[in-house]
Structure 1
Amino acid sequence: MSILAPFERDISWLKTEYAQINARQSILLEEKSRVVGDMLAAEEYLEDKAETLHVLQAIQEEWEYEEKREVEDLLSQLVRDILPHRADCKVVLQRGTYRDHTTLDVCIDNEGHPENVWEQRGGSINSILSLGLQFITLVKSGNRPFVLFDEADKAIKEELIPAFAKVVAELSRTLGVQVLYVSHLDAGIFEGLADIISFDEVDNKVVARHLKRHSVEKDEWISSGVSSIRYKNMRRLQDVTLELGPFMTVLTGTNDVGKSSALKAFRALARNGGTMGLISHGADSMRVEATIDDGSVLAYEYFRGKNKAKVKATYTMTDASGTDIEEPHNGKESLPPWMDDYLAMPLVAGVDINFCSQNHPAQMLDNKCCSPTQRAKLLSIGSEAAKVVDMIGQHRANVTAHTKAQNETKRSLSRVKNELNIVRPVCDLDPAEFDPVLKKLEQDYDFVTQLNAVGSEMVKLQEMITLLETLPEDSIELQKVDVANISSISALNDLADEMGQTTGMLQIYSQVECEDPLSLTKPRDNAEFVSIGRQMVSSLSLIQALESLPEGRVELREVVHSEGVDALAKSLSEATKAIRGTSGRLAAMEQQQSQIKVNIASLLEEVGDVCPFCKGSMNGEKHAH
C-alpha cells in the first residue's frame, strides 16, 4: 500500500462526510417541521378537550331527552300499577358525570327534590323499578329477548305479588320478551298469565309437570326464543325437560327440588360457569341442552375431573337431526367463538341483563351489580344518543392518544435539536471558504505524489548503479555486437551528470520544504550525500572505462540491456523536468537561502573543497558540477 493512501482516503472521507452532514441536516430539519406540527396538533386538541366533552354531553342529553322522558313515564306507571297508593309517584332519571364519564341514577321526585331510590328507598319500589329497567335495556341491547328471573318478587309484599306478576306478563307480551320466572309462591297466582311448570318429587326423583299452557296463536310465537331446556345429571334433575311458552313461563314447586338450580345451570351454559356442585351425586358430569330458534340444539357438558389441567367443559352445536353445524369446543373457562351467533346472550356494558338472581332482585339499581356509569351506557343502547356515547368514547381515546403523542413529540423534538446543534458548525461553513481548502489539499496531494514517483525512480537508478559497480573488469568480452549499440553508454554518462544535479536539487528541496506538513521527503544529512557522491565517482570511472574500449564486438554478461538504460535515462530526464517545474515555488522561498548557504558551507567542509565528481577544487569559485 502506498504511503500516500491514508492522505487520499482522508481527502475522500472529508468530502463524503461534508456531503452526508449537509444531507443529514436537511433530514433533521424536515423531521423537526413534522414533529413540531404533530406537537402543535396534539396541544390544540388537548387544549379544547374539556369544551369538546361538554359539547358532546350536551348533544347526548338533548338527544336523550325524549327517550329519557319515555323511560321515566314507563317506570312511573309501573310503580303506580303495583303500588296504587303511590299514584303521585314520578320517577326521574338524573344524569351526572364521574371522571369524565356520564352517570345515571334513578330517583323519585319528592316535591321537587329527587331522592336516589337505591340509597333512600327500598323494598318493593326497588324491585319494581329494577324489573322495568331490565326489560327496557334488554329490548335496546339486541340480545336474545329471553330473561330469567329467580324470585324477582322476593322483596315484594305478598299482597302486591299478583299485581307484580301481571306487570311482568304484560311487559313480556308487549315488548316481545320471553320470560322464565321462578317463584316459591302458589301457582294459582300466575294462572291465566303464563305457562306454569311445577317441579314435583316422585319416587325420590324430580319431574316436571306442565300444569297450565297459555294458548297463543302460532304467529305470536317469538321466533328468537328458547323452546325447551333439558337437564341431565344436574343435582336432583336426572333427566328433566322444560317446555317453555313463547312469553312468560313460571317454574314453581316446593323447596329444594332444583328450581333455582335450573336457572343457575342455564346461566352456566351461557357463561361457561359450571361448578362441581351442579353435578349429581355419583355422576361424572352434568349436561344442559337448549333448543333454540329452528330446532338447533346448543349443548353444554361439565365434567367432574380430578385433574385441574384436564378439560372440564365441552360445547356442541347441532341441527334438529343431531348433525354438528359447528366445530365442538373444549375449554375450561372460554366460550366457543360461535357462541354469540346462536345463543346471543353476552354481557352488555359488563352487566348480565339476561339473568336476575334471587340474591340481587334489584340488580339494575344495585351499584355493585350495575354502576351509574353502566346504567347510562345501557339506557343509551339502540338510540341516537348511543352514537354520541360512541363519540364521547372516541373523544376520550383521542385525548389519551394525543397526550401520548404530545409526550413523544417533545422527546423527539429534543433529540432533533441536539443533533442539529451537533451538525450546525459544519453546515454553517461557507462553501466559498471550504471548497478552496479542499482544492488546496488536492493540489498538495498531487504535488507530493509526483515527488514520491521521482523518489521511486531514484531508488531504481541507485540499484542499477550498485549493480554496475559490482561488475569485474574482466567480465567484458568481445562478441559480434555492433559498437554503435553501446552509444547508450554515453547517455549513461549524461545520466550521471543529470543525476548529480537531481540529487543536489532534491537535497535543497528537502531542506527548504521540511516545514511543509504535507511533505513526505525529509532532508538527508551530509554524510549520506557524501556517500552518494562517492558512489557517483565510482560509477563515472566505470562508465569512462567502458567508453575507452576499442570499436568492435562487445558482450556484456549480466549487464542491463541498452534499451533499459535508455528507458531509465528517459524516466530520469522526465522526473528531472518535473522537479525543475517547482522552481516557481523555490523562488518563493528565498528567505531560507541563508540556511541553505550554511548547509552548503558545511558540505564543502565535509568534502574538503573537492568535487566528488571531477576532483576539482570548489574553493570560492563557480563549479561546473
Structure 2
Amino acid sequence: MYATSEPGGLAELLRTCGRLCARREELVALEAATVTEVGLAKGRQQLRPAVEGFIEQMQADAHRRNVGSYEALLSLIAREVVPTAGEVGLELGVKRSLPALDIFVRKPDGGRSDIYEDQGGALTNAVSTGLRLIAAVKSGRRKIVVFDETDCWIKPERVRSYLEVVHQTARELSLQTILISHHDPAFLPAGIPLARVEGLPDGEEGVRIENDPRRHVWADDEPGMRFIRMRNLQSHVDAVLHLCPGVTGVCGDNNLGKSIVNRALRAVFHGEGREGLVRDSGATEAVVEIGLEQGRVLRYVRRLKGNPIQSWTLLEADGSVHDGCDAGGRDVPSWVAEKVGVADDEHHFQRQKLPTFLLDRGPSERASVLSIGRESELIRVMQDLQKADVTADARTVREGERSVAALRERISRLASAEALETEASALRERAEAVRTEGEILRGMEEDLAALVATRARTAVRSAATAVYARLPDSGEADAALAALDDTAACAAAVRSMAAKRAQAAALRERARLLSALPNDLPALEDGSECETLVRDMLAARVRAYMTSVGAWVGGSLPEAPELQTAAEAAADLARLKLVREAAQAACGNLASVQAKLAENERACAAAIEALGGLCPTCGGGLGDAAHFLAHEIEDAA
C-alpha cells in the first residue's frame, strides 16, 4: 500500500528549512535596520558641530534680545544710587557648552570693572536689587520679592531715588514687592501702602503692625498674597501684615521686628524654622499663615517639641485641607512650590545680612538664573538633548557596528538554508509526483485484480460449459443412472455371493463328513455285546463327526457324550440322519446359490461393459465386481 502523506523526515526538513529561512529574513531585516540606524547616527555625528553651533547661536540671539533691557535697568538703578557709576554691562558667553554670564561696569576708557570685587557696597547692593527683580520675574513662578533693608548701604539723600526706581520697576513688571526699611517713611515713594511696626518686643503684647488704612480689596482669583499672619513668632504675639498687588512698605525703628516678616517667609518656603523663632514668653509653637487666592490659607507651624517639629497645611476657605496638602518634617513639601508657586531658591526673599545676589556666583550660575526666561530654558533643554543624542549616537555606532558584524556572520551561516529549502521543495514535488504515480499504480493493480478475477470466473464458466457439453444427453443420463443402479445391485449381489460361497463351503464339508457314514444300521445279534459294540462305534463316529464339524466351523467341539444305552444311540443316529438330510438340502441350496452367483457375475460384467470399464465413483478401471466391494469396505472404514 502506498503512502498518502509526506515522509516524516522530509516534512521535518521542510519545517526546519522554513524556520531557518524565516530567521534569516529576520536577521537580514534586523541588519538593514541596524545599518540604517548606524548610518543615521554617523550622519548626526557629522552634523554635530553644525547643530551645536546653531544651538549656541540661538542662545546668543536669545540673550542678546534681552541683555539690552537688562543692562538699561541695572544701569538705571546703579546711577540712582551712585550717580558717577558707569554703565552696567552684561556679556554672554559659553563655557563647557553652557551659557556663562559676566556682569561688569564699563569704564570711561573702555575697560571693565568687576562689580563684586572692585566696586563699593552701595553699587553692589543696587545691582543686586535689579538682578533679584529680573530673576523673580524670569523664574516662571509666583511674582513676589522681599527687600530687607537693602537701602542701608545707600546715602540718605539717594534712598528716595533708589526706592522710587524699585517701585517703578516692580509696577512695570507686575511684581508683588515688600520693602522693609528703617528709614523715615518720608523717604518712601508716594502712594505706597505703608505698614508701621510699633510696640515693645519684650512686652506682654509684643509688637503690633499698624497697616495702611487704604487696604486693597482682593478679588478671589486675583493673583497675589493677601496677608501674612504671625503668632508667637519672636516679637509678634499675633500680628497681621496686609499686602497689596504692588509694593507694600514696612517701616519702623531698629530692632522692633520688621525683618521677622522676611524670616517668616523664609521659614515657610525655605524650611528655615529655627527654634529661636518661637516667642520666649512660654509659647510652645510659632504659627505663620499666608492668605492666598480663592480664600485658601497656607499654615506653617514650628514646634519646640514633638514630631514633627515643622508642619505645612494648605487650607480651603471653609477650613478643610486642600487635596491632601498636609505634611511635616524638616524639608519643605514639594506640593508647596506646586500649589503656592514659591520654590526653595534665593530669587524671592533676600537675607538682611546677605543682600548680594548673583554677583558672588559663577558666570554659569548667573546665566542659569537669568537665563532669559523660558526661551533660554528651552535652549538649555535642547543642549541637554543634544548631549544625550551625541552620547547615544556614539553608543549606537559602536554597538551597532558590532551587531552588524555579528548579524552578517549569522546570516552567512544561514545562507545555505535557502538552497536547502529549494532542494527540499523539489523533493516534495518529486514525492508528490511519486505519490500520484503510486495512486495510479494502485488503481491499475486494483483493475488488474478485477480483471484476473473476471478471467478466472470466465475460465470456470468456460470449463463448466465444456464439461456440460461433454455430459450425455437425457437418454444417456438415464442409462447411466440405471447402470449405477445396476452397479449397486451388483455390489449387493457380490456381497450375497460371498456369503453364499462361505455357506456352501461349510455345507460341502459337512456333506463330506456325512458321506462317510453307513446308510443302514447294523443288526444287533448279542444284545449286550452288540450294544457295547454299537455304542463304541457310534461313539467313534460321533467323535469323528464332531471333529470334522469342529474343523468346518473353525473351532473345537466338546467331546461327544458316551452312549449309555441303545435307545440313546438310536436317538443319536436319528438325529444324525436329520443332520444329513439337512446337509443334502444345503447342497441343493448351494447349487441354486451358485446359479444365482453366476447370474450376478454376468449382470456385473454387463454393467461394467455399459460403464465403459470405468468406475463411476473413482474413475478407475473396473476389473471385476471386487472393485465395488473394495469401495464398500472403504466407505465402511
TM-score (norm 2): 0.58
Equivalent residue for 1:285? 285
Instruction: Tell me which of 380, 395, 418 is aligned to 2:372.
Output: 380
CA displacement 1:364-386 (0-9 Å, x = unmatched): 32216xx534535534115x666
- The answer to whether the Cα contact below 8 Å between 2:295 and 2:316 also exists between their aligned partners in 1 is no
1:250 match: secondary structure: strand
Corresponding residue of 1:129:
127
Offset, 1:83:
1.2
1:579 — aligned with what? none
Q: What residue identity is the alignment partner of 2:227?
A: S
Measured in 2, the distance between the counterparts of 1:9 and 1:199 equals 105
Deviation for aligned residue 1:29: 0.6
**Displacement of 1:261:** 3.6
Work out whether 1:182 is the aligned partner of 2:180: yes
1:318 matched residue in structure 2:
316
* Residues 272, 313 of structure 1: 8 Å contact kept: no
Aligned-partner residue type, residue 46 of structure 2? E
For 1:520-539, what aligned pairs fall within 5 Å after superposition?
A: none
1:236/1:411 CA distance change after superposition, 3 Å: farther
1:11 and 1:219, CA in 2 relative to 1: closer, same or farther beyond 3 A?
Answer: closer
Residue pair 1:285, 1:302 contacting (<8 A) in 2 also: yes
Distance 1:12 1:305 in 2: 83
Q: 1:204 to 1:418 in 2, by over 3 A?
A: farther
Go from structure 1 to structure 2 and tell me whether the alpha carbon gap of 1:119 and 1:100 turns closer, same or farther (over 3 Å shift): farther
C-alpha distance in 2 between matches for 1:239 and 1:362: 32
Q: Which amino acid aligns with 2:188?
A: F
- 1:196 offset after TM fit, Å? 3.5
Contact 2:309 2:330 in 1 (8 A): no
| Letter paired with 2:98 | H
CA distance in 1, matches of 2:207, 2:244: 14
Structure 2 vs 1, CA of residues 273 and 11 (structure 1 numbering), >3 Å: closer, same or farther?
farther
CA distance in 2, matches of 1:9, 1:279: 91
User: Which has more helix, going by share of residues?
Assistant: 2
Q: Secondary structure at the match of 2:239?
A: strand
Unpaired runs of 5+ in structure 2? Answer: 1-6, 434-633
Q: Does 1:297 align with 2:297?
A: yes
C-alpha change, 1:325 and 1:11, in structure 2 (3 Å) is same
Aligned residue number for residue 93 of structure 2: 96
Q: Kindly indicate whether the alpha-carbon contact (under 8 Å) linking 1:151 and 1:183 is maintained by their aligned counterparts in 2.
A: yes
Contact 2:177 2:247 in 1 (8 A): yes
Structure 1 residue matching 2:414: 3-state secondary structure: helix
| Contact 1:205–1:236 (CA under 8 A) maintained in structure 2 | no
1:94, distance to aligned residue in structure 2 (A): 0.3
Counterpart in the other structure of 1:416: 407
Q: Number of residues paired by the alignment?
A: 429
Conserved 8 A contact 2:170-2:177 = yes
- Out of 330, 337, 355, which is 1:361 matched to? 355
Query: Can you list the C-alpha shifts for 1:82-114, whole angstroms capped at 9, x where unaligned?
Result: 21223xx22221011111111212121223333
Change (3 A) 1:398 1:264: farther
Query: Are the counterparts in 2 of residues 298 and 318 from structure 1 also a CA contact under 8 Å?
Result: no
Bigger shift: 43-52 or 11-20?
11-20
For 1:391 and 1:53, locate their aligned partners in 2 and report how far apart those are by CA, in whole Å.
10
Q: In structure 1, what is the Cα distance between the partners aligned to 2:272 and 2:75?
A: 36
Query: Are the aligned partners of 2:197 and 2:258 in contact in 1 as well (CA < 8 Å)?
Result: no
Is the CA contact (8 Å cut-off) linking 1:232 and 1:238 kept in structure 2?
yes
Match of 1:21 in 2: 20
- Structure 2 counterparts to residues 591-610 of structure 1, below 5 A: none
Aligned to 2:539: none
In the alignment, which residue of structure 2 is the partner of 1:170?
168
State how 1:427-466 maps to structure 2 within 5 Å. Answer: 427=418, 429=419
Q: Structure 1's 262 and 206: CA in aligned 2 closer, same or farther, altered over 3 A?
A: farther
SS in structure 2 of the partner of residue 356 of structure 1? coil
Which residue does the alignment assign to 1:352?
346
CA distance in 1, matches of 2:267, 2:215: 30
Deviations 1:430-464, CA, capped at 9 Å, x for gaps: 65666688999999xxxxxxxxxxxxxxxxxxxxx
Aligned residue in 2 for 1:118: 116
Map of 1:208-223 to 2, 5 A cutoff? 208-210=207-209, 213=212, 223=222
1:539-578 correspondence to structure 2 within 5 Å:
none
Q: Distance in 1 between matches of 2:302 and 2:402?
A: 54
1:139 maps to 137
Task: Choose 1 or 2 for highest CA Rg.
Answer: 2
Gaps (5+ residues) in structure 1? Answer: 1-7, 444-550, 553-625
1: CA distance between counterparts of 2:224 and 2:161?
25
Query: Alpha carbons of 1:45 and 1:95: their partners in 2 closer, same or farther (altered >3 Å)?
Result: same
- With over 3 angstroms needed to count, the CA separation of the structure-2 counterparts of 1:235 and 1:24, relative to structure 1, is same
> Residue in 1 aligned with 2:233?
234
Q: Do the aligned residues in 1 keep the contact of 2:103 with 2:114 (CA within 8 Å)?
A: yes
Conserved 8 A contact 2:358-2:366: no
Show the counterpart of 2:389.
398
Work out whether residues 198 and 252 of structure 1, in 8 Å CA contact, stay in contact via their aligned partners in 2. Answer: yes
Partner of 1:55: 54
Specify whether residues 405 and 432 from structure 1 end up closer, same or farther in structure 2 by C-alpha distance, changes over 3 A only.
closer
1:197 is displaced (CA, Å) by 2.2
On the 8 A contact 1:151/1:357 being kept in 2, the answer is no
Partner of 1:149: 147
What is the 5 A alignment of 1:269-284? 269-281=268-280, 282-284=282-284
Aligned in 2, Cα 1:25/1:392: closer, same or farther, shift over 3 Å? same
Aligned equivalents of 1:178, 1:29: Cα separation in 2? 65
Q: 1:339 aligns with which of 336, 340, 346?
A: 336
Residues 606-625 of structure 1 mapped to structure 2, 5 A cutoff: none
Q: Distance in 2 between matches of 1:203 and 1:69?
A: 50
Q: Rate the CA distance shift 1:69–1:206 in 2: closer, same or farther, 3 A.
A: farther
- How far has the Cα of 1:32 moved from its partner? 0.6
Alignment of 1:183-198 (within 5 A): 183-190=181-188, 192=190, 195-198=194-197
1:32 aligns with 2:37: no
* Aligned residues with identical type, % of pairs: 24
Evaluate the alpha carbon distance shift between residue 11 and residue 157 of structure 1 in structure 2; reply closer, same or farther with a 3 A threshold. Answer: farther
Say which SS state the counterpart of residue 144 (structure 1) adopts: coil
User: Retained in 2: the 8 A contact 1:108–1:115?
Assistant: yes
TM-score, scaled relative to structure 1: 0.59
Q: For the residues of structure 1 that align with 2:43 and 2:300, how far apart are their CA atoms? A: 54
Name the structure 2 match of 1:330: 327
2:104 alignment partner AA: C
